[in-house]
Structure 1
Amino acid sequence: MHAASIVVVGTGYVGLTTGACLACLGHRVTCVDVDAAKVARLAAGRVDIMEPGLAGLVARGLTGGTLSFTVEARAAVESADAVFLCVPTPMGAGGAADLRAVESAVATMANSLPSDSVLVTKSTVPVGTARRIGDLLGRDDVAVVSNPEFLREGTAVADFLGPQRIVVGSDTPGAAERVAALYRLLEAPVVVTDAASAELVKYAANCFLATKLSYVNSIAELCERLGADIDAVTRGMGYDSRIGRSFLSPGPGWGGSCLPKDTSALLRIADAVGFDFRLLSAAVEDNLAQRDRVVAKVANAVGGELAGARIGLLGLAFKAGTDDLRDSPALSVASVLSAHGARLCAYDPAVTGPLPGMAVTDDPYRVARGADALVVLTEWPEFTQLDWTYVADLMRGTAVVDTRNLLSPASLRDAGLRWTGLGRSTNRIDATSVS
């Protein structure tokens, strides 16, 4: 395909990024959503999603006439070369992916899709969904292709336009190649395979990353017990090309919109075929244990008793650069602290309240006022720029539990504060490399 007529169903995080970026590549893109008010906002160039570069791409597409928005799915797809399904697939009952939005979209469009068009699943769906969609369509003249997304919140536009790989899979000869051609302007390895393999790639990748994060959190715990330093350990590991440096930072646990639901879904997929995926189960269990480890550190920092303690929380989003609270480990830690009777006040530069179990403020220094301890839960760079001497004056206690190893222990010590990280010792020199 050269410049193609494309319809993107769903204008959430994945759908809007996909639509705006495909329009940027020269295709004619229509984005469809059932939310009329949202469609009106997008058609006026108002983007609610916090994502660098996305609003600019939407404005460019609208101005150039390559991007439009509508609620009329059937009319939109009647002249489409390819239709991308980018609808939510949240965790459903028992942990399996909920495909009702996918099935509803397919049912709505089934009779309107033109002959020889391609229906592409961009949403993360269980293995076998392409075949299931084919059965729902009941049409031999429309091919179904799996084209999983690998977008990270905060860098989604850059990830789409500069991908590490493009994966497309179909059981219809030639269909995957047609979808791969839509990305012809991007320089990236292209993996063309069958539909089931393409669907499994996304789960396999995300679940590997979740396992890697659980592993490094366990190594950080081991460092504390052995007197080693996690920063030095991960630096030494990261130079090994078989391991790499990414996803080697300990934290309060992994969360967000993808890893929790994808690990749960893959465990259900494995169970359905009689495979006991013990490694992945252990990674999920360890992630829950990490939350309890963090809570124990906070309790220790305030003398062992959380009931009545005033705890200031720095960060609520599941990671810096986004306002996404879905399955945020920060909220998970906060809920346990609150359940133990702690009084919580929180600040996040991208999040406004109210939130249950805590007061949310728009001033990081207000979080420190009268606090027995501060807990850094999200790695926002601005926290490193706080006036920590002033913070120390505001606090009632002196403890700072840094679950992201973000802050400078020396700077906090100079301010009269007690810094506690994950797998780190303030008595050890910083790990350095010589090359």
Structure 2
Amino acid sequence: MTKSLNGGTIRDPGANDPVRLRVVTTPHARNGLPHPSYDDGAGYRPDPGPGQPGPGTLCQGHASCVPICPSQAKYTPLKTQARWGSSVTLVTRAVVTRVRIGADGRAAGVDYRSYRDDTTEAVTHSVDADLVVLAAHAIENAKLLLLSGAANSSDQVGRNLMDHPVLLTWGLMPQQVGAYRGPGSTSGLEGFRFGAARARRAPFRVEIGNWGWTWATGPPESRVAEFLGTGGSDGRGILGTELRRALGDQVGREFAFQFEVEQEADPANRVTVDPRHRDALGIPRPVIHYDLSDYVKRGIAAAKAVSDQLFDLLGAEDHTRFEQGPDWPGYFEFEGRPYAYRAAGHGAGTHIMGDSPLTSVVDEWQRCWDHPYLYAVGCGSMPTVATSNPSLTMAALALRSSEEMHRDLLGRRRSTSAGHPAPLAS
């Protein structure tokens, strides 16, 4: 693909000048070497032989790193948790139901319900705390703040929910491309994220998908079903050696483009709670209100126009089709043409960061304006979501905030030991 695309140009409907193409490697975080003391060595089998990497050393092309990497080459928090000292207690099978706010407006602790796997019966507990950190991502952080009646003097808790609407296009390359080997994506095209076109349509990045048509139409076994039911000369479908040949030919040539489209913050896209909708523990579920603006829809339309030209440059068969129905809940029509999108699951917004308590929920440290010693961290703090996966930005913000949390706790301890009440955090 790189040979066919690099140096070529694409006409972007939103831009005046053509965009020059360059395939760029996408950063990945993977473990390079096994840690022999991790979990007393569990999870790592011995090296199978000279020159053969054992699990935990590097990606081995299982094509199943979502959600779990079989060789543990992908980052896992388990190694971090293994370094926790005795002062840290991890409570599992527990769901926080409320942040407790003291009469002075400070965060004072949380209430939670614990349960066993074999029952929905729950026991309610309370925990006192000098500092509370909500780190349950954009949806659950917002839900918990709303249930607690907390941090919402700006009326922005739950609002400005963003994701990356993903336009998928898929087809067959003229030759085998090694589909389903390795991570879901290793490279993409970044030239449509920038420039004057942003004023007219949402920008996007183009991810080159390695896992064939899985996200678009289902895993390879769905192609097996198609071949078994159609295509045979006697009307019975393709069987035996012919089935193996046909399946290998198609699956090995499958590819997809994933256009991750930037979505602007819209207060109408939001998380709310409704006591009529509860989970098995009796806790209100989050209720989602979500739609696409015309700005985003123009970006999706531009992405499809770009895709058409990419297929031409590759000489690939385009099998993309969008049909209204349960397979495409994100179906819509725009300017007379059908489109559909998938959700990337990159939730952001809902407790946005800002420089004023009048217009935002948290400050630059992800600390709630309304309540000292209450932090809401994660992608929910991001006032914009840009065009690509927010994980690295989220991690950087969390590390930065942890330094301020440390300063908050040190300040509180100094004040308490001096016999004075701890000052309100600024």
Q: TM-score, normalised by structure 2?
A: 0.23
**Which structure would you say has the larger Rg?**
2
Structure with the higher fraction of residues in helix conformation: 1
TM-score of the superposed pair, with normalisation by structure 1: 0.23
- Relative contact order: is structure 1 or structure 2 higher (C-alpha 8 Å, sep ≥ 6)? 2
